[in-house]
Structures are given as C-alpha cells and as structure tokens.
Structure 1
Amino acid sequence: MSVDAALSQERRLTARGAVTRNRIVQAAAELFYVRGVDSVTLDDVRATSGTSKSQLYRHFADKDQLVHSVIDLRADQILNRDRQLLERMNSIRALERWTDTIIHLNSLQDGAYGCALGSLVSARAAQDPTSRGKLAETFAEWEQFISAGLRRMQENGTLREEADPDQLATAVMAALQGGYLLAQTAQDVEPMRVSMQMALDHVRSYVVA
C-alpha cells in the first residue's frame, strides 16, 4: 500500500475503526518488543488484541504493513519522550538527567528487552527497505535532539568551540544502543550504565572548566 493510500484509509476510518486499529498496533508493539518480530504471527496479534481475522486484515494487508505502523508508534513515543527531556538541554547536567532517566526506565524491566526501536532495526532493516527508511529517519531525528543541545552548550560557552556536536551526539547514541544490547544480554542494566558513563565522560572532556 502506498503512503497516499494509507493516509486515505486512515481518513476513512470510523471512530470505532480507529480504536480497533490502534488496539491492533498497540498489541503488536508489545508482542514484538517482548518476543521479537520474527517470532510473532498475525494470529498472535489477533488473539492478543481481541480482534477477528477480518478486522485485522481490514486494517493491515500483511505483516509488513503492521510492522511499519508499529515503527511509527514507537518513533512517536520515543521522540515525544526525548523531545521533552532534551529540547531545552543547555548544560552537561541536563544531558546527565536525560541519561539517568533512560537508564532508570530500562532498569524497571532489568534491561531484559532492549530498545523498543533498536530491536526493530535488527529484525527488519536488512530485509525491508521501508522499515529501514523509517528507522533511519527516526534515529537521525533522535540524534538531532542531542546535537542541538550540544550546540546550545557551545553557544552559551559551556562546550569548547573545537567540539563537534554531531560527532558527540553520534557517540552518545552509539553508547545508548550498545548499552541497551548489553543490558538485554545480561538482563542487568549495569552495562548500559557503564556505556553511557563512558560516553558522557567523552562529552565532559570538551566542557569548559
């Protein structure tokens, strides 16, 4: 289904249809996160969401379409969360607070499931160009929140002029995603804490004393 066709379908949804569609996407997102995309079938999603086969296929012709909607959902959730945390970031302490929040949220489940968005990358990026494009766009926007905050730190004299905000933001994002993966493997958030501490130490090396 093209993007225009998908938008047209969404506009035609009744209120009840929108509720059903949202319930399906929410159920799929949770199943994909806990069990992995490849191990979840459409029948699993149908059973969890309490929808009939005809209801599910009315909204999603195949699993790929459902995955794309889950990516959109996770992207909105993560970007909205971090926009609130990072849109006014202008100090190293603000970056530390964001880091502490992310680690705390992951600690609530002992780091067992990794990043809700990163797990979709490993499952779909290699085989699905649409998923890869959506994920790449989201990660770029996510990283931009960090680099924009680092630029504000340069503007207010907190960060040295020779620092490269884009490169530092990439390093922080790499540490975050690597930390998620290590925490998931260990089922312990401590490796994530160490990874992020090292990344922040690198940023601190550019902070004006």
Structure 2
Amino acid sequence: MIRLTARGMRTRTRIVAAAADLMRVQGIGGTTLDDVMVASGASKSQLYRHFEDKDALVRAVIRHVGEFVIVRETNMLGTVSTLAGLRRWRDSLIKANALRHGMYGCALGSLASEVSDHDAVARNMLDELFRAWQRLIDDALGRMKRAGVLDDSVDTSRLAVGFLASVQGGYLLAQTARDVEPMAIAIDVAIAHLESLAAPDRAAS
C-alpha cells in the first residue's frame, strides 16, 4: 500500500469528495473521470496516482459515503431507547430529505442500485454498511425491549430489517415523487407496527 504524504492525502480526499458529490447528482454511470478531475481540480496524473480505474474510485466513494451515513445514524440512534426517541429519529431523516424535496434518494441506496449487480467488491462493501445500519436499529430496539417498552417476545433483529427496508423504500418513493410524504408514511407504518407490540401503558414512551 502506498504511503501518502499529508498533501497527497488532501488531494485524495478532495478527489473522493468531488466524486461523491457528482455521483450523488449524476449517478455513477453519468459521472466520468474527466468530470471528477474538473470538479476536484486534480490532474490526470494525480487521479491515476490514487485510483487505478473508475471502479477503485467508486469503492473509495462508497467508503466515504458509508462513513458519513454510519456516523450520522450512530449519533441519531445511539441513545434511542423509547418510542419518542424513535420518532425523533424519524423526524430527523424526513427533515433532512425534505431539504432536497426527496431528490437523489438515500446516499447508500443510490450507490447500491448502480453497482451491486456488476461489482462484487462494491456490493459486499455496501452490504456490510447496510448491516451496520441495521445493527444500529436493532440495538435501539433492544434497548427499548430491555426497558420494558417492547414485549419480551419481540424479535428485534427481524424488526430492524423491516425498519431499514421501510426507510430505503421511503427514500425511493420520495425520490420519484419529489415529495417526502411517501417516505414519512412508510416509516410511520413501521413505527405503528412497533407500537402494536408495546404495552398499552408504554405506547407513548
């Protein structure tokens, strides 16, 4: 592995950030290496010094975007232990997506839709990132279960899969509608199901 100087690391970071922004708006297929060079201000030699081809750059973008998403979700979900806390998480996701009127979808979901079927390495990277997100949801539901908010019989791991699917499906519907309302409904339905598994006296917790 090539050891980078501080300057080299800054250049690499600038290239990846520019590529991530372009791919979010234009898609991976619609973003060329020439686009990335223009947006990042990097020369062709600098680009190829850090990335042997577009696939290598896309994988770096996945790591970059994945780190952002998992840090964000850790901050939002890391202390959730009540239904009220889960609703605040839902509100944060909806408000953030509303700023773009639902455009571009989920940062990870959009990448997955473009690379999963033709780049096994990228697919595995994305799979692990989604699993990490799923574990954060599972951990939050587990805290709710231990706190007595959810019934002891609840399978939090299965619920976590359903919640993440609701979020991803909601992003997609919002993207096509250019309206976050379908996303809000999708997550609200998942929360309503969770409320049905809560003790009546804890439903507002």
Give the shorter-chain TM-score range.
Answer: over 0.9
Q: Distance in 2 between matches of 1:169 and 1:208?
A: 19
Q: Offset of 1:88 from its aligned partner? A: 1.4
Match of 1:149 among 137, 140, 151: 140
Give the RMSD, CA atoms, in angstroms.
0.7
Which residue matches 1:174? 165
Q: Offset of 1:152 from its aligned partner? A: 1.0
Identity of aligned residues (%): 47
What does the per-residue CA deviation read over 1:117-175, in whole Å, with 9 as the maximum and x for residues that have no partner? 00000000000000000000000010100111111111111101121101111111001
What does the per-residue CA deviation read over 1:168-191, in whole Å, with 9 as the maximum and x for residues that have no partner? 111110010000001000111111
Q: Offset of 1:93 from its aligned partner? A: 0.9
Match of 1:108 among 95, 99, 115: 99
Code of the aligned partner of 1:101: S
Alignment of 1:59-208 (within 5 A): 59-208=50-199
Which residue matches 1:3? none
Code of the aligned partner of 1:160: D
Q: Offset of 1:208 from its aligned partner? A: 1.4
Q: Offset of 1:74 from its aligned partner? A: 0.8
Q: How many residues align?
A: 200
Runs of 4+ in 1 over 3 A off after TM superposition: none
Code of the aligned partner of 2:148: G
SS class of match (1:188): coil
Q: Distance in 1 between matches of 2:196 and 2:5?
A: 55
SS class of match (2:104): coil
* Length-normalised TM-score, structure 2: 0.96
